[in-house]
Amino acid sequence: MNYLNLPIQQVSNGSFELVPIRYEDRTLIRTWRNEQMYHLRQMTPLTEVQQEQYFTQVVAALFHEAHPTQYLFSYLKDGICIGYGGLVHIDYQRGSAELSFIMNTALEREEFDLHWANYLHLIEKIAFEGLQFNRIFTYAYDLRPHLYPILEHAGFYLERIVPNALIENDRSIPALIHSKWNAVLRKATKNDLKVTFKWAQEPLIRQYSFNRNEISNAEHELWFNAKLTDSNCHYFILETTYGKAIGSFRIDVLSEQTTGVISYLLDPEFHGKGWGIALLVLGQAAAKQTGITSLIGEVMPENSSSSAIFVKLGYDAEVLSDRIRYQKNL
């Protein structure tokens, strides 16, 4: 069966393929899930009856929904199912989905790295090229550290750590969230003068700026060119994979060269879709590559959305007379 409104139904890489989940694979999937409960959000073993009901009622309905809450796929090698996964917990407003993946338990020890990397490559095509989602992410209990290097190699970044996500045998286990965005953070160029001036004039952006005075085009051009040539400034633009600039991230390096003061902004058209977190996570990675070990960000007290992002990403807050200062060691 095919899903409604899914532009890419299946993808392949050599002998490997992702296809819409097949009813015939339900028994294998139940077996693997029951064998791997230790790292899943599954409290009790699945019975045959439960799995049959799930496939005939829940899974079957997904194929007839215009906007299903999940897209599930069988992962095949030469036509034989050796795993399954999908895009789950979909948030269409933010264009975001969590990734899930389980493979044949007998193959995990020797072949997990191969299949995990291959699956990430295949599911990304469906999410980014097919559905044009903004973000895909994994939420994994910190029980299998071999997941993380493969995620990082595939372009995922550690977004945040959720403490006490699982309590097992009186032991607290955190969960790690790794994210990948359908965008890149690139260095700013002279070609970005026009769009950065447009952002500088936006009322919503000026509302939360420490300098609320109107800025002329000539003033902005002088400031912009100075930043591009300043050796103590790292200036980046967040650009979608289809070439649209949607925000900026700037680091002004302090005298000790290891601490940077950050300033970021997002085109108001893209507010409320999670791009603010993307800017900070990608900006942190860019800062580390320059040798910076600590970042400082300052926001006005009424800028609750920026404050929420800093807190979510683990910055320490210091309340000053006219602003809140957030700092984080990288």
Residue 40 is predicted with a pLDDT of 80
What mean pLDDT, rounded, does the chain reach? 94
pLDDT at 243: 93
Residue 208 pLDDT more than 90? no
Residue 39: the pLDDT is 80
Residue 88 has φ and ψ, to the nearest 5°, of -125, 170
Tokens of 142: 């910190």
Residue 162 has pLDDT above 80, yes or no: yes
214 pLDDT higher than 90: no
In a domain, 6, yes or no: no
Is residue 238 packed enough to be buried (19+ CB in 10 Å), middle (13-18) or exposed (0-12)? buried
Q: Are residues 57 and 86 in the same domain?
A: yes
* DSSP symbols for 250-303: EEEE-TTSSEEEEEEEE-GGGTTTTHHHHHHHHHHHHHHHTT--EEEEEE-TT-
Q: Is the pLDDT of residue 136 over 80?
A: yes
Q: 72 in a domain, yes or no?
A: yes
**Is pLDDT above 90 for 2?**
yes
What is the spatial distance between Cα 224 and Cα 217, in angstroms, rounded to a whole number?
10
C-alpha angle with apex 17: 68 to 88, nearest 5 degrees?
25
Please indicate, yes or no, whether residues 202 and 304 belong to a single structural domain of this protein: yes
Over residues 67-109, the pLDDT tens digits come to 999 999 999 999 999 999 999 999 999 999 999 999 999 999 8
CA–CA separation, 322 and 253 (whole Å)? 22
Q: What is the pLDDT of residues 221-274, one digit of tens each?
A: 999 999 999 999 999 999 999 999 999 999 999 987 899 999 999 999 999 999
What number is the average pLDDT over the span 10-15? 96
Domain count, the chain: 2
Residue 303 lies in a domain: yes
**More confident call, 211 vs 36:** 36
Q: Is the pLDDT of residue 192 over 90?
A: yes
Same domain, yes or no: 89 and 141: yes
The residue behind tokens 């409604």 is 4
Phi, psi of 130 (to 5 degrees): -80, -60
> Which range of residues forms the domain containing residue 208?
183-329
Identify the residue whose tokens are 């407003």: 93
Quickly state the pLDDT bin for 38 (edges 50, 70, 90): confident
In whole angstroms, give the CA distance from residue 251 to residue 293: 12
Residue 220 and residue 315 in one domain: yes
Percent of the chain with pLDDT over 70: 100
Q: What is the domain-level CATH number for residue 255?
A: 3.40.630.30
Task: Please say which residue of 144, 159, 181 terminates a domain.
Answer: 181
Domain end, chosen from 143, 166, 181, is at: 181
Same domain? For 188 and 154 the reply is: no
Give domain status of residue 1, yes or no.
Answer: no
20 and 149 inside one domain: yes
Residue 5 lies in a domain: no
In a domain, 158, yes or no: yes
Given 181, 196, 212, which residue is the final one in a domain?
Answer: 181
- The dihedral over CA atoms of 275, 278, 279, 283, expressed in degrees to the nearest 10, equals 180
**C-alpha 207, offset from chain centre:** 28
d(CA 123, CA 74): 11
The pLDDT of 126-143, averaged and rounded, is 95
Strands (E), the chain: 11-13, 16-20, 71-77, 80-91, 96-103, 135-141, 157-168, 171-181, 183-187, 233-240, 245-253, 259-266, 294-299, 316-319, 324-329
Q: Do 111 and 172 have their domain in common?
A: yes
Residue 178 contacts by C-beta under 8 Å, 6 or more apart in sequence? 137, 138, 140, 148, 151, 152, 156, 157, 158, 159
Span 264-285, average pLDDT: 95
Same domain, 91 and 27: yes
Q: Which of 11, 212, 22 is nearest to 126 (CA)?
A: 11
Predicted pLDDT at 169: 78
Give a yes or no: residue 120 inside a domain: yes
Same domain, 143 and 59: yes
Summarize the confidence of residues 180-186 as an average pLDDT. 97
Write the single-letter amino acid at 120: L
Mean pLDDT of 295-318: 94
Q: What is the pTM of this model?
A: 0.92
**Domain identity same for 175 and 208:** no
Same domain, 174 and 208: no
Measured CA to CA, the distance from residue 166 to residue 41 in angstroms comes to 9
On whether both 174 and 256 belong to a single domain, the answer is no
* Lateral strand order in the sheet of 233-240: 183-187, 233-240, 245-253, 259-266, 294-299, 324-329, 316-319
The model's confidence at residue 175, banded by pLDDT at 50, 70 and 90, is: very high
**pLDDT at res. 317:** 96
